[in-house]
Amino acid sequence: MDAASRYVMFLAVSSITSKAITDTIDNQVFGLVGSPLCFVADNGTSVQSVHFRGWAASWGIQVRYVPVYSPNRNGALERQHGVLKQVLKAMCKGNTDRWPSFLALAQKRCNNRLLDDSCEYTPQQLFMGSSDASSLGRRFEDISNTITTDTVKFEAERRFSRREAMIKEVHDAMEEAEAKVMLKFGDRLSRRRTFKVGQKVLKWIDNKSNGVLQPNWTGPLTIKEVLGTATYRLSDDTVHADRNLCLYYQ
């Protein structure tokens, strides 16, 4: 996802290895739109490997990672992932092998909607610099009178009708999925915690590898620095989101 325009590109990969990811980006993204200045990524092993970081550096790309256990810090992309998963599940209708065939339609829908109710621009328009608010606004009817060959017109009408039906189905599924994801996101905002420099806190860690009875909270640690609205640097120099911290009471 482009951070400025919210333009998305959905890519199907054969596996989630570092090489598969970099090869796909090389072949399907950089050849079309070039390389970005920066990647913001989660803490998955495939994007933290020497292969991935070396590949990014070779393109002059800086890689930044969101705080651990905090996918909400890359919220726009995570919400889009949630919507896409719901849509693919609905469109596949139990046959999950079909999911790659719906990626292009889902991508077109996401990139050709207004960014919000008060905005007159779409991601497609901002990213591509096009004058049309949406490429979906250009329809077959606008040029149908210019086609003189009946067989060509019939083929165009057939494809147009089929595509319209598929787009409508995708739109309906995405509207429902977006509503569900936004409800969950709103609930997270209402539970946001705030801390001040000097306060003592406990931090949450994934301790499953050491046994199910091991505690998941460790500390106490001191808030050393406030980074933005919901991220904190602790006295051990680790950075965590607010959702992974709680006040320590003596």
**pLDDT tens by residue, 44-83:** 889 989 999 999 999 999 988 887 766 666 777 777 777 7
Q: CB of 59 within 8 A of CB of 35?
A: yes
Q: String of b and e for 94-112 (b: at least 16 CB within 10 Å)?
A: eeeeebeebbebbbbbbbb
Distance CA 230, CA 223 (A): 12
Distance CA 133, CA 124 (A): 8
**pLDDT tens by residue, 106-140:** 788 778 777 776 777 888 888 887 766 555 555 55
Is 0.75 surpassed by the pTM of this model?
A: no
Q: CB under 8 Å to 139, separation ≥6 — which residues? A: 160
Q: CB of 243 within 8 A of CB of 188?
A: yes
**pLDDT tens by residue, 164-216:** 776 677 667 667 766 666 555 555 544 567 888 999 998 887 766 555 556 67
pLDDT for position 247: 87
Angle (nearest 5°) at CA 144 between 152 and 120: 125
Q: CA 89 → CA 83, 95, 159, 241, distances in Å?
A: 10, 9, 24, 30
* Burial class of 149 by CB neighbour count within 10 A (0 to 12, 13 to 18, 19+): exposed
pLDDT for position 103: 83
Name the DSSP letter for residue 79.
H
**pLDDT tens by residue, 90-108:** 777 777 788 888 888 778 8
- Residue 248 dihedral angles phi and psi, to the nearest 5°: -100, 125
Name the DSSP letter for residue 28.
I
Give the pair of three-digit tokens for residue 180. 């569900």
Domain ranges across the chain: 66-189, 200-247
CA gyration radius for the chain?
23
**DSSP per residue over 209-230, as a string?**
GG-TTS-SEEEEEEEEEEETTT
Distance CA 102, CA 95 (A): 12
Percent of the chain at pLDDT above 70?
75
Lowest mean pLDDT among 177-181, 217-221, 234-238: 177-181
